[in-house]
Amino acid sequence: MSGGSLILLRFLPTVLGLGLCLASTPSWSAPINNAEPVVARKVVHGNLSSPTKHSVHVLRTGHEWREFTNAQRINWDTNIDFNHDMVVAVFLGTRNTSGYRITLPEVRMTEWLIEVTYAEIPPDPQRNHIQALTSPYVLSILPRSEAPVVFSQGHFGTQEVPFDEYDRLVRTLSELAYQLNDERRKNEWAMGRIQDLTELMTSTTPQHRQ
């Protein structure tokens, strides 16, 4: 575990969905396929001058942002309205040469989480690169959302969840479980009324009008 993040399996949404299935009705399935693309308002690539570890971050408040930029020694010349925006960041970690980049090829939102896919772009072998330690990163301003954010290195890599986002996942799971249990109770009540009415209809004979 490194960079203030918790490494989870690639199929975390399916695992959580399975947990909800067990807690409620067997016919429920997680809405992981109903994903919509999230368009970034701005994306900035940079390189830190000091060695860093790989890490992922989600910043939703001005206070979090100021602490983050001070800790990482990042200068940012764009004003961010955290009432409407948030920032996601991925730090690649220290590399031995220049030329490395990190991109965010896809950000998608399901009904209950946001998945940020990132990719490491290695140096172009046809070009000369400086033999020096580099620490590439990427910052992206996204529309603000209270949904948990998870990061994936490619579509088949493991998922990484910052600690605060893991807390959001737990809260979201609890809320979904409560909603599903509530729906189950309503369905059971409705099924009971249907059964009562069915029994009433089968045990009585309608009277013909005179």
pLDDT tens digits for range 71-119:
988 888 788 999 999 999 999 998 988 888 999 999 999 888 899 999 9
- As a whole number, mean pLDDT of residues 20-45 equals 62
Eight-class DSSP state of 132: S
Please check whether residue 107 lies inside any domain of the structure: yes
Write out the residue range of the structural domain in which residue 153 sits: 5-203
Lowest mean pLDDT among 12-21, 65-74, 84-93, 192-201: 12-21
Quick one: what percent of the chain has pLDDT higher than 70? 80
Count up the domains in the chain and report the number: 1
Q: Has residue 106 been placed in a domain?
A: yes
Q: What is the pLDDT of residue 4?
A: 44
For residues 176 and 30, is the Cβ–Cβ distance under 8 A?
A: no
Residue 208 lies in a domain: no
Helix (H, G, I), strand (E, B) or coil at 124: coil
Residue 210 in any domain: the answer is no
Task: Report if residue 189 sits inside a domain.
Answer: yes
Backbone angles phi, psi at 68, to 5 degrees: -65, -50
pTM of the model: 0.68
Q: Which of 24-33, 124-133, 168-177 comes out lowest in average pLDDT?
A: 24-33
Within-domain flag for 138: yes
In a domain, 209, yes or no: no
Strand runs labelled E in the chain: 5-8, 36-37, 42-48, 55-59, 85-91, 101-109, 114-121, 135-143, 149-153, 159-162
Please state the φ and ψ torsions of residue 76, each to the nearest 5 degrees. -130, 125
> pLDDT tens, 123-170?
888 788 778 888 999 999 999 999 999 999 887 767 888 878 878 777
Among residues of the chain, what percentage have pLDDT more than 90? 36
- As a dihedral over the C-alpha atoms of residue 88, residue 92, residue 94, residue 96, rounded to 10 degrees, the angle is -140
